[in-house]
Structure 1
Amino acid sequence: MTTSRNPGERPSFLSLHTAVVLMGAAHVGYLAGGLSFLGGTGAALSALAGLGAAGASVPALRGLIR
């Protein structure tokens, strides 16, 4: 699939697919970290849980969306 662009238009930094996957991963990470914190885990461990969940969700979201 080709798209026509204006001659002076720069290509986008991220594709729409990449932006949606990263936003979904951020939401998963926020949810996991927030629930972990509300469950009584310390802030540092909750942040690590959120980062781990966000990183693990990227391949799954990529496969689901594509």
Structure 2
Amino acid sequence: MTVHTAIVLLIAVVIGLIVGGLTFLSGGAVAPAVLAGLTAAGVSIPVLRTLIQ
């Protein structure tokens, strides 16, 4: 694993945790919060890959 890949994945995990946490704190249940966090992390990976070079 390259440093670039590690940084992209780490930032994607942080984004997913933030989105999931905010979804849960806004009154959502646990399952939708997890789904929102996973979706945000997955969607952010290609974007981060192109932004961080």
Structure 1 and Structure 2 fold alike (TM over 0.5): yes
Selected match of 2:44 from 52, 57, 61: 57
Give the % identical residues.
51
Consecutive unaligned residues of structure 1, counting only runs of 5 or more, are 1-13
Higher relative contact order (CA 8 A, sep 6+): 2
TM-score (norm 1): 0.79
Selected match of 2:12 from 21, 25, 44: 25
Consecutive aligned runs of 4 or more in structure 1 exceeding 2 Å deviation: none
What is the count of residue pairs matched by the alignment?
53
Higher helix fraction: Structure 1 or Structure 2?
A: 2
TM-score (norm 2): 0.97
Consecutive unaligned residues of structure 2, counting only runs of 5 or more, are none
The one-letter code sitting in structure 2 at the alignment partner of 1:42 is A
Larger Rg: 1
